[in-house]
Chains A and B, each alone.
Chain A
Amino acid sequence: MDYRVNLAARMLANKRGSLIGAVLAVSIGILVIHVNFVIFQGIYDAIIRDMTEYRFGDIFVSHEEEATIERSHVVYTNWFERVPLVKSATPRLSGSADIEFRSMGKFNEEFDVPVVGVEPVSDILASKIHTTINEGQYVYARNSIVVGETVAEDLGGVRVGDNLKLIMTNQGGEEVSKRFVVTGISKTAGGQGFDTSVIIHIDSLRSMLDRPDESNSIFVKLNEKNPEAAIDIRKQFLAAYANDDLKAQTIEESAEATLKGFRSGIAMINLIGYFGMGSSAFAIVTIQMMLVNSKTREIGVMRAIGAKRKDILMVFILQGMIIGAIGAGAGTGIGLAYTTYAKETNMQFQGSLALEVNYNWPKIAETALLAFFLAMLAAIYPSYRATKLQPVEAMRNV
């Protein structure tokens, strides 16, 4: 082993306090970034995940100008389902209704509740909203209704098996009503689901609104997450139906408005993380300056017996690299342990949505490398100061 490496390592090993301090400074900087990432990127990705699974799919088709798509959805869903990467495509229609509920002699009423019409067979394939039914089951018949948890509470405690009356105004301006049997209660953590809506069969909604064959949107789900493919498929779809005035957006585009503010928040928090890393560099400068000052005589001796300035520089920069390597290793290790813990336990905060935890390897590597280089950079000034010590220092008889 090169004597400079040996000397650098030994000096540090014999100054355990300084070593631990400097390593902690580096690793805490990294840890802050990992924890930030797990929590804030985790929330961000969880929102995207839920929006994808419940509301928008990977591609979301709607009309460019009108609220509804008049042409039968079958044309479009068939087109999508012929694409190998597409898992399923399902139409949705929305409206709103006043809901009446009678329970044990008490009458409850809610106005303007959002109503989502779904086609159960393809919706179960395309969307995960059916998994949010924590009591009963999903819509399966023309008179089935799934009630969002909030709506159920507002109506005074709707239970599976209860009867509800929905009153709407149809296309022609007439008031229509229909009775439904509650088959399930839907509840999601984080509010991206249909907790404040009710879900019925799309055909029931179409007939109530007198809008046969119409839908608002087509919800398209790919076999797996693949943003580039989603963009491609969207383009091909729009080209195939260029005259239909349709709009097709990938989830990233659909979520853009919702998440724009959130993203700048994440950037801000990351900045704080990098700032923390910067301060750890200052900690290293301080600790190494102390080390250099305590080694004045040794440096003088080394110079006296022939070590050149660049050898002294090397010894102390190597120390920075050792600190950086151990700190980056430890910080990344602990950070990964935290990430794994968050992932395995489906970490969530007080019943809110479960974090969507991912290992972002490029970012993990980038953070570790950055910390390593910062530690090395931080060592430059103390090392330079060490080279300025004179060999006569070795001779001082005090």
Chain B
Amino acid sequence: MSDIVLELQNVSRIFGEGDAQVKALDDVSLSIRRGEFVLIVGSSGSGKSTLLNMIGLLDKPTSGKVILDGKETTTLNDGQVSQYRNEKLGFVFQFANLLPDLTVLENVMLPQQIQGSPEDIRQNAIDLLIKVGLEDQINKRSNKISGGQAQRAAIARGLVNRPTIVLADEPTGNLDSVTAGKIVKLAKTMAKELNQTFIIVTHDRHQFPDVDRVITIKDGKAFSGEETTMEITA
């Protein structure tokens, strides 16, 4: 199996029409290898979230191809894309985005339930919650725990289906710096322990001192490394 888990080929995303047109992504090509811990940085409004939405199959490019695990995804229908998201991707959002009506455990069980996994869903979820240090919070309503705990739970939920890539959009953006540091450390530990590919979007480079690769977005264009002008190629 190829070492490349994700490939973007000439991806553009244009919002709006005519004069109001915004080119949020401009001909981006890049590829990610298995096990990489990748940081996407850039100033606010540069197109980071738009890029992550493309990678996460949450939105479709105006042109270009998104190839996940060797499969071109832009031609898939809504149901197939949903299944891809469920099986191959894990999401961690800025505001943890746990479902407030469910307990912490139920939130972490959810991706496997949606998949209809034949495994011991409950045990898988509990194991992960222990790994992220939430063994005491398992049966709490998920809106009754702190922001840092919620983000830990969200990481567990992102990992539970053993996805090809975990995507995180500003995962520390809503946390104080001490808590943020702990979350970053947790993500790194999980990545190493599970050989898990991570793609993390942040506007704050300094919170992630030690990463495999940095991609910088500026005005919808992607560059390899930090503040360089060299365009990356596949």
Contact of B85 with A301 in the complex, beta carbons under 8 Å: no
| Complex Cα gap A387–B110 (Å) | 18
Contact of A7 with B94 in the complex, beta carbons under 8 Å: no
CB-CB < 8 A to B169: which residues of A?
A: 395, 397
Query: Among the listed A11, A13, A304, which residue makes an inter-chain contact with B91, where contact means beta carbons less than 8 Å apart?
Result: A304
Complex: chain A residue closest to B49, CB-CB: A395
| Complex Cα gap A53–B2 (Å) | 92
Interface size on B, residues (CB 8 A): 33
Q: For the complex, is A392 an interface residue (Cβ under 8 Å from B)?
A: yes
| Complex Cα gap A391–B52 (Å) | 13
Instruction: Provide the main secondary structure of the chain B interface.
Output: helix
Instruction: Provide the main secondary structure of the chain A interface.
Output: helix
Q: For the complex, is A160 an interface residue (Cβ under 8 Å from B)?
A: no
Complex: chain A residue closest to B84, CB-CB: A306
Complex: chain B residue closest to A306, CB-CB: B86
| Complex Cα gap A306–B78 (Å) | 10
Q: For the complex, is A210 an interface residue (Cβ under 8 Å from B)?
A: no
| Complex Cα gap A14–B56 (Å) | 31
Q: For the complex, is A225 an interface residue (Cβ under 8 Å from B)?
A: no
Q: For the complex, is B119 an interface residue (Cβ under 8 Å from A)?
A: no
B233 to chain A, nearest CB (A): 27
Query: Among the listed A14, A297, A305, A308, which residue makes an inter-chain contact with B79, where contact means beta carbons less than 8 Å apart?
Result: A308
Contact of B99 with A298 in the complex, beta carbons under 8 Å: yes
Q: For chain A, which range describes its interface: under 10, 10 to 19, 20 to 34, or 35 or more residues?
A: 20 to 34
Given contacts A297-B97, A392-B59, contact A308 B82 (CB under 8 A): yes
Find the residue from A297, A301, A302, A306 having the highest chain B CB count within 10 A: A306
Contact of A305 with B58 in the complex, beta carbons under 8 Å: no
Residue-wise, chain B 112-132 has the 8 Å CB interface mask toward A (1 for contact) of 011100000000000000000
Q: For the complex, is A3 an interface residue (Cβ under 8 Å from B)?
A: yes
Q: List 23 A-B contacts (CB under 8 A).
A: A3-B106, A3-B110, A3-B113, A6-B106, A10-B102, A11-B101, A14-B100, A298-B99, A298-B101, A301-B99, A304-B85, A305-B110, A305-B157, A307-B82, A307-B86, A307-B114, A308-B82, A308-B83, A309-B82, A390-B59, A392-B58, A394-B97, A395-B52
- A residues neighboring B (CB under 8 Å): 3, 6-7, 10-11, 13-14, 297-298, 301-309, 311, 390-392, 394-395, 397
